[in-house]
Structure 1
């Protein structure tokens, strides 16, 4: 559901996201070829995933990537997780999103995020106050342009972990996309958004049939996340003691990362759905080999098939 110029949600049903999707494996050091990405999207669709998500950093264009992938698949929904607001002007973002939504009705979700100060600096701009910056960006997306953007609606959700950003998502967007939080964070997000907004949860996962090895790999992933103050602050707000966050305790790892075999990861997905998520997107560790990551996601799919 796109938003109009006054930021009110537009009417209409959103895409049929289903309960579980997958984020394409992320690397900051290499980019898979278009052919490999097309093949991966087709394989994930055939494996039964309801949605495929992509990331974006400065220098990578999420809309071009999704145009390639949408053309290669038949039914799967694609979403940006997230499209970085520093990568393009607001009216350009809206025009690109609307054209994709017009070309592929019901198969596109726009996730937007303010990112980090270094990303703003990389484009020569000031990060400013995140809430005000994102509010202004969303407002300017639908300021009339000449020629006008395609006449199409699409869901717009905001990357949001903290209560203020979640409240903003509930006010000016169609939902939110929190990441890296335990199921309690999902429950908090649902309470702040209300019952009618789209809640997409990004869940970090470490697939490994050896439970101890999986937990240790998950601990490393959690430690990297909590090195950024907003993630640590979000966990503290949810009642986790400071020393457990700093030490990345077993309880913290088990709460925030889906790790182990397919059944264990499916159980963690189920916890987020029970806490109020509409859809859970699986995120492999950053730097996972692209081909290996797609195979892991395929192997997880059968255990996820009964979730609803």
Structure 2
């Protein structure tokens, strides 16, 4: 059930969030990690992203407010969001408490990004849409207003929920075509901030191999494969690590001009903000800081 119109996020709140995150952000699972050995590096890397001009950092994986807190404390402006916090693994009351603590200490610096995760990862997974509605009801009662949260929405119903019960959507693993459809559903007010993967390599075979190795695990999840099929891809495109057609649609690779144009296509399709994920052939947890610097340079 959608909440009453009077309780929906106000347009000025949505506009404020759009202004805060700017046009470009960085999506990173490595910045979410909790090991104390590299805490200083993560904080310093986030401070550098702020200096480079990125408006937001989106913490990949099943992230929470506790992962964002040290990054926010190490910076003065950049917004930090979860992308995403699983509604199955984090109780709404705890999510609300984590949000409230950061909102008091650093107002407007933390965005609660929520998602329904994937059936293969969650025991007892069922009725994801209704479960999300119930979760948002709990957040409302706890005082987490719609203007402070976004949803990892892919399909039409979840996009409508992002419009009616949140400040917008942060779709993952999508194309400009999906962005155009999402903007039509959301309308002009809500934030639309798709994630987009970038391989900073101009060699076709090597770039696609890096991309394919990274994409393979996501093709095990029906949420993504069904969305690709809705976008016109075929079963052949989503098997064996993904076809070249699929790889080239969901990854940018090539020279600086090509990558810049691929990112611009999302804005042209209606995105307010693009969360850029640098994908490298590197050990898990490695922060692609040279890649972030190159992105900042090519984006000006």
Match of 1:137 in 2: 135
**Segment of structure 1 superposing worse, 97-106 or 63-72:** 97-106
**Aligned pair count?**
291
1:38 aligns with 2:43: yes
Q: 1:213-268 CA distances to partner (integer Å, 9 max, x unpaired)?
A: 11222233333322322212111111123323336222221111122344332222
1:73 aligns with 2:75: yes
CA contact (8 A) 2:260 2:298 kept: yes
CA distance in 2, matches of 1:165, 1:237: 15
TM-score (norm 1): 0.84
CA distance in 2, matches of 1:39, 1:79: 17
1:104 to 97, 103, 106: 106
Report SS of the residue matched to 1:86. coil
Deviation at 1:281, TM superposition (A): 0.6
Task: List alignment gaps of at least 5 residues for structure 2.
Answer: none
Report SS of the residue matched to 1:33. helix
Match of 1:302 in 2: 297
Deviation at 1:127, TM superposition (A): 2.3
Higher relative contact order (CA 8 A, sep 6+): 1
Pairs within 5 Å for 1:1-308? 8-10=8-10, 12=13, 13-14=16-17, 16-26=20-30, 31=35, 33-57=38-62, 62-121=64-123, 126-144=124-142, 154-246=147-239, 248-285=242-279, 288-289=282-283, 290-305=285-300
Task: List alignment gaps of at least 5 residues for structure 1.
Answer: none
Deviation at 1:117, TM superposition (A): 3.3
Deviation at 1:55, TM superposition (A): 2.4
**Segment of structure 1 superposing worse, 251-260 or 110-119:** 110-119
Report SS of the residue matched to 2:274. strand
Q: 1:228 to 1:89 in 2, by over 3 A?
A: closer
CA contact (8 A) 2:129 2:158 kept: yes
CA distance in 2, matches of 1:119, 1:287: 25
CA contact (8 A) 2:33 2:67 kept: no
Q: 1:36 to 1:287 in 2, by over 3 A?
A: farther
Q: 1:233 to 1:56 in 2, by over 3 A?
A: closer
Deviation at 1:193, TM superposition (A): 1.2
**Segment of structure 1 superposing worse, 6-15 or 248-257:** 6-15
CA distance in 2, matches of 1:99, 1:27: 20
Q: 1:112-138 CA distances to partner (integer Å, 9 max, x unpaired)?
A: 1111235543xxxx3220000001001
CA distance in 1, matches of 2:141, 2:33: 36
Report SS of the residue matched to 1:142. helix
